[in-house]
Amino acid sequence: METVGSKRQKVTEWLLEQIRSGAFPEGKRIPSKYDLAERFQINKMTANSAVEELVVKGYLERRARGGGTVVRPRASRFKGSIAVFTGDVSVSYYSSLLIGIQEGAQSYGYNTLFYHRLVNNDPEETVQFLKMSGVSGVVIANFYQLSSLDLPVLWIDKNRIPVLRGDFNHLMHDDYHGGQMLASHLYELGHRKIIYISQLADILTRRYEGFREELEKHSIAPLTKESYFRSGLSPQEFLRRLLKRFPEATAIACDGDNVAFEFYWGLKEMGIRVPGDISLTGFSGFPDVQRLIKLTTVDEHPHRIGFYASELLVSLIEKKIREPVHEVFDVEFINGATTAPPRKN
């Protein structure tokens, strides 16, 4: 016995075939829900649901004042929609990443639907919402957990999932190598007393692993590893307490440009020169930070990885490659103006 979903799918597939073959050209009014119901021997609500799915996906548009539902311009080249979950796009990393994803998706004929949080912060409700929206695939660039979604899903930098294991699709920056490059840079400048600052203790751990293991090659270790965002302190107070404990520190390595940016101004307000008195590094290569302070950092090229994420997801959607996908994306060391050899006492 056919389900409502299978009946609706027959209608959507037939309509898509007509659009892509040119039988329903741009601006063409499609059959009414009554005509579709009669053609496929279904009720008009199921027919209307099938049409609405293609409206949401961008193939059709409803005209006001009795204009009916017509094929949208360029719909014959439009293949579907990709849902994108990211962090706060006011952060330049995520805005650049989203632009890359959009450009990549559009180049392959897909629209993007942007979400900056789960629906009502509920994974199961989000899954149901995505199924009803009729998206073709999902990109997740944050720590969201989605299960039971019978669609291709690609995670970008899913730090809380064991790296390169399991049956999920994962595209990650080479954070480990980035950490190595920053540690090597500080060591070559002559720094031996280095503080490492993480945003949160349980994320971005591969950055620290690469940093720590590179220093271990030279038989040294960071003075300490501290978590900043859970401290509840202002940048100045955090730094005062930190440097009181470790007055011998000559460099501070941060696992994010956002933290390094706050520390740069905090140190300046404390009368501590960067890099004259202490060197400072970040991680990610935020364009807005670079425009202001030329931070020594690792550039993750979010626009490029976003575009490539779309390429991978489209290949999964169109079954050109098999799941699971695990790929590592190169990062680039940026030698900025916030590091120098340690001051001489």
Integer Cα distance of 288 and 291 in angstroms: 5
Identical fold at 4-76 and 79-173+302-328?
no
Which CATH code is given to the segment(s) 4-76? 1.10.10.10
Q: In 58-120, which residue ranges form alpha helices assigned H by DSSP? A: 92-107
Where residue 1 falls among pLDDT bands split at 50, 70, 90?
A: low
Question: Which pair of tokens denotes residue 63?
Answer: 């005209």
pTM of the model: 0.76
User: Which CATH architecture describes the domain 79-173+302-328?
Assistant: 3-Layer(aba) Sandwich (3.40)
Q: Is the confidence at residue 198, as pLDDT, over 60? A: yes
Distance, in Å, from the CA atom of 100 to the CA atom of 81, rounded to the nearest integer, reads 15
* 106-154 confidence digits (pLDDT tens): 888 888 988 887 777 787 888 888 877 778 899 998 766 776 778 899 9
**What is the pLDDT confidence band of residue 178, given thresholds at 50, 70 and 90?**
very high
C-alpha 13/C-alpha 92 separation (Å) is: 39
The pLDDT value recorded for residue 144 is 67
As a whole number of angstroms, the distance between CA 277 and CA 287 comes to 25
Question: What CATH number does the domain located at 175-300 have?
Answer: 3.40.50.2300
Name the residue ranges covered by the structural domains of the chain.
Answer: 4-76, 79-173+302-328, 175-300
Quick: pLDDT tens for 315-329: 999 889 877 888 899
DSSP 8-state symbol, 319 = T
Residues 30 and 69 sit within 8 Å (Cβ to Cβ): yes
